[in-house]
Every structure is written in C-alpha cells, then in structure tokens.
Amino acid sequence: MPLPYAFNRMEFAGSLGDLGTLLPLAIGMIMVNGLDPSGLFFSVGLFYILTGLYFGITTPVQPMKVIGAYAIATAMSPHQIMASGILMGTCLLFIGATGAITLIGRYIPKAAVRGVQLSTGTLLMAEGVKFMIGNARLQVLHQMAEPYLSVQQIGPVPVGLAIGVGGALLTLLLLENKKTPAGLMIVGVGVLIGLVTGTREGLGDIRPGLYLPPILPLGFPQGADFTFALLALVVPQMPMTLGNAVIADMDLSITYFGKAARRVTGRALCISMALGNFLSALLGGMPVCHGAGGLAAHYRFGARSAGSNLMIGAVFILFTLVLGNRILALFNLIPMAILGVLLLFAGSQLALTILDVRERKELFVVVMILGITLASNLAAGFLAGIVMACLLRSDKLTV
C-alpha cells in the first residue's frame, strides 16, 4: 500500500495537473464577476489541505463548472455566485448528512457512471484543444488567444497553437518519466515562456507582505440573490455534481487507490463539498467541488498520495498570504495553451476508464450519455443514461 503522504517531484507534478480546469474559471470569475482573488485562492488552498488530511489520498478541488461557466457568460454579480455556493452547500449537507446519497448511489448503474466519466473526459479534451487554438471562453473575453503574451504569431502559426503542439509532444515524451515529471516540466516551461515573452501585466505592482484574506469582503447576498441563484445555477448544477463529483469521483478513487480510498464515500464527499462551499462563500471565493476529471488529472501527472494535496494547497496559501490580490499576476504567466495541454491529457486519462465496459447494452448507454452531453449538458446525459440503463435491464429490449 502506498504511503498516505509522499512529498517528491512526482507528487508535486501531479498536484499541478488540474490547473487547466481550475485557473481559467477562477480567473474568469475574478475578472468578469468581481470575486475576491485572495479569498478565492486561499479558500481553494485550505480546502485542498483539509480534504487531503481527511481522505488520506489525492483529492481534487475544482470550480463548479455549470455555475462558473454560466456566471462568466452572463456577468452575474458576486452576490449571486456567493448565494449559489451557500445553497449548493446546504443541499449537499442535507443529502450527505441524511444518507440520501447512499441510497442514490446504490441505484446508479455502472454504465451511467462510465458515461459520465467518458463525457467529462471528452469535454475536458475539447476544452484543451480550444485553449490551444484560441477560442476558449476566457480567450474570447480577452479577444486574444494569448492575452498575456507579447507575441501572438510565429510566422503564419498562432503562438498558442505552437506552444500547445510543442507542449503536447513534450508531455508525451515525459509522461512516464519519474526524474523529469511531465506536469512539473510543462508548467515550468509555461512560466518561462511567460517571463520571457509575456506582457508581465501586474508583476510590477506586486508588493510582498502579509495579506490575510478578509471575511465576507463583498458583503452577504440578499433574498433576491438566493432566489435567482437557486433557479439559474443550483438546479442545473446539482445533477452534474452528484454524477461527476460524487458518484464518478468515488468510483475512480476506488479504482486508483483501492482500500486506501475507504473514506471516500458518497456521504463524506457531499459533506466535504458542503463545508468547502461555506468556507469559500465566507471568503468571497467561488463554488467548489471534487470531481472525477480533477482526480484523473492529478493521477495522470503523478499524484499518488495526499501529499499532492498538501503541496498544492500550501502553494496557494503561501502565494495568497505573500502577494494578496496580486496573486493573479503570477498565474497569468502561464500561457493558455499550456493549460490546454493539461486539460487534454487529463481528459484522455478519464475517458479511458470505459475500457472495462464489455457488454453491448452498457456500451450503448455510455455512448448515448456522451451524445446527449455534447448536444445539451452533462446533467441531461446523466439522467437520460440512468433511465436507459434501467430500461435495458429487460431481456425484451436489445440494441
């Protein structure tokens, strides 16, 4: 059995594996929605550490994607986002504390779980490619593929595409290399590119010191914020959270870590996310969750213990305490295309979990969930997959 806490270059490389999911939505909600940078990254770091200590294995911390994407696209107020986090936390606390998630998980077919994992992996890969070619949501907001690089073209080739292809090839070469971990190298190369060819926006304003994140920096949401958040954000987010951040995450944790994942239960994941969202709302951060995609990302790039949680959590907390709200200038050094490379390989790792699906009916459910997800959203695909899997249990139906 692996040690619960390992601190080495592979663990550190793995801890960086999910930055491609975390940073774009976090930066977008800071820039567009006005969330507090220090509170956001401090709460993420603290949540990483606490979940690592409790679960004892690599545990992902991610933005809630439905809430984040919709909030950025519609420029919602920070109070509406905060209200959604409080409501999600309340619902998850109820589902976890009452044991309702155990009953839900008992009746979720394996094919539906694999469909969620394939769909999430495919979405991550597609988003990674978008970052490389320059049309991801954050890049569209900037109206520029690499908004923090002074060079946008290398001859006729967009610089993001060149960085993305080069980064992908480098990752392939180093993916199983324990002396030079791929995750550490690719992020390091990205930061170097940012330092050499970047605009260095905000770096000159950095004044190292001790900056404690304020409590409720944006105030507390009003009644109207909660009503709006419930209908516009919480209702569409909840099925995805239960499917991907609870059921699929629990399944993948057991696949990767076996008996070491004994604490990763549906109840524990729900309560963990509830407490994480209450913490994030208190500090003016974003709604957070766990997720199979994040776990696959950390694992693909080398994380094998809770040590990865403690290291990435310490990095976020240290940078926040020393840099305060200027922490954003540091993360902007990493080119968007590098984040795309991380997403591409994380998505492929998660999508490959369907390799144990053998029966034709189960494979049909998996592929159907993928199709519905691509046409609408993951929540719709997950719910439709559960219904279809139950129907196909009848010997009278064939595919």
Is residue 31 classed exposed, middle or buried when 0-12, 13-18 and 19+ CB atoms within 10 A define those classes? middle
Q: What pLDDT sits at residue 48? A: 98
Q: Which helix (H) or strand (E) is 62 found in, with range?
A: strand 62-63
Task: Find where tokens 């409501």 sit.
Answer: 87
Average pLDDT over residues 335-362: 92
Partners of 158 in the β-ladder: 153
CA distance 264 to 363: 26
Q: What pLDDT sits at residue 211? A: 95
Q: What pLDDT sits at residue 201? A: 82
Q: pLDDT for 105-136, tens place per residue?
A: 888 899 999 999 999 899 989 999 999 999 88
Cα distances (angstroms) measured from residue 127 to each of 294, 298, 302, 325: 14, 17, 22, 27
Tell me the DSSP string of 310-371: HHHHHHHHHHHHHHGGGHHHHHTTS-HHHHHHHHHHHHHHHHGGGGG--SHHHHHHHHHHHH
Average pLDDT over residues 46-66: 95
Record the tokens describing residue 272, joined without a space: 């963990």
First CA to last CA distance, the chain: 42
Q: pLDDT for 277-328, tens place per residue?
A: 999 999 999 999 999 999 999 999 999 999 999 999 999 999 999 999 999 8
Q: pLDDT for 159-208, tens place per residue?
A: 999 999 999 999 999 988 888 899 999 999 999 999 999 888 888 888 89
Q: What is the mean pLDDT of the chain?
A: 92
Record the tokens describing residue 125, joined without a space: 């890969």
Q: What pLDDT sits at residue 1? A: 47
pTM higher than 0.75, yes or no?
yes
Q: pLDDT for 195-244, tens place per residue?
A: 999 888 888 888 899 999 999 998 999 999 999 999 889 988 998 899 89
Q: Decide if 274 contacts 47 (C-beta within 8 A).
A: no
Residue 396: pLDDT band (50, 70, 90) is confident
